[in-house]
């Protein structure tokens, strides 16, 4: 009788342990989804600002057609990227690069740089880029917590039993974006 109670107690303790680890994995998975949703909100905000920016810039930069088309194509690539997180990350990196080139070219146009509409849109996009950066950081922190739990013992055993997988970090794909900028004041 005592053996049966001890065995029942061990089974109950094991079940409680499995439930605890499972629930923490579900919570972490939901944090990753919520963090990605926050990134997505900011990316959508940037996506919506781009047509206004392009309309403002077109009048000043009529012979910079390639730059304007690159931004338009990068924006269209986001629409066609599908729902895969990896496809969206790649498309967003392309848009970030195209916007960077647009702002670099805009430096050659003093009238454009003095336009209040352009300055307001540039400030709004800068603010949005900062929010995207913070959202990406939060997302990567959530992914790290999830991946640690999925890969470390004993969570890896429970994760394997219930098909929890490692999540992908939001990383810069373009090596040019990783490069340290060269500053020359001479």
Q: What is the pLDDT of residues 119-170, one digit of tens each?
A: 888 888 889 889 999 999 999 999 999 999 999 999 999 999 999 999 999 8
pTM for this predicted structure: 0.75
Record: fold of 16-170 = de novo design (two linked rop proteins) (1.20.1440)
CB 34 within 8 A of CB 167: no
Q: How many angstroms separate the Cα of 86 from the Cα of each of 82, 171, 172?
A: 10, 10, 11
**pLDDT value of residue 175:** 57
Sign of CA dihedral 131, 33, 28, 152: negative
With residue 18 as reference, give the H or E element that holds it: helix 2-58
Give the number of other CB atoms < 10 A from CB of residue 29.
18
At residue 184 the predicted structure's pLDDT band, cuts being 50, 70 and 90, is very low
**Helix 65-79 and helix 2-58: axis angle, to 10°?**
150
Q: What is the pLDDT of residues 81-91, one digit of tens each?
A: 777 778 888 88
């Amino acid at each position: 009788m005592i053996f049966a109670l001890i065995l029942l107690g061990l089974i109950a303790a094991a079940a409680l342990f499995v439930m605890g680890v499972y629930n923490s994995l579900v919570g972490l998975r939901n944090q990753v989804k919520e963090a990605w949703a926050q990134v997505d909100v900011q990316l959508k905000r940037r996506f919506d600002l781009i047509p206004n920016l392009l309309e403002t810039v077109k009048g000043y930069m009529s012979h910079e057609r390639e730059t304007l088309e690159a931004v338009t194509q990068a924006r269209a690539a986001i629409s066609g990227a599908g729902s895969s997180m990896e496809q969206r990350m790649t498309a967003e990196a392309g848009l970030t690069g195209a916007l960077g080139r647009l702002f670099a070219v805009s430096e050659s146009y003093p009238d454009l740089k003095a336009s209040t509409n352009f300055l307001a849109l540039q400030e709004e996009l800068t603010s949005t880029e900062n929010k995207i950066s913070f959202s990406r950081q939060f997302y990567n922190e959530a992914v790290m917590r999830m991946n640690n739990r999925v890969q470390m013992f004993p969570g890896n055993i429970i994760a394997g039993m219930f098909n929890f997988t490692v999540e992908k970090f939001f990383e810069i794909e373009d090596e040019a974006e990783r490069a340290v900028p060269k500053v020359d004041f001479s």
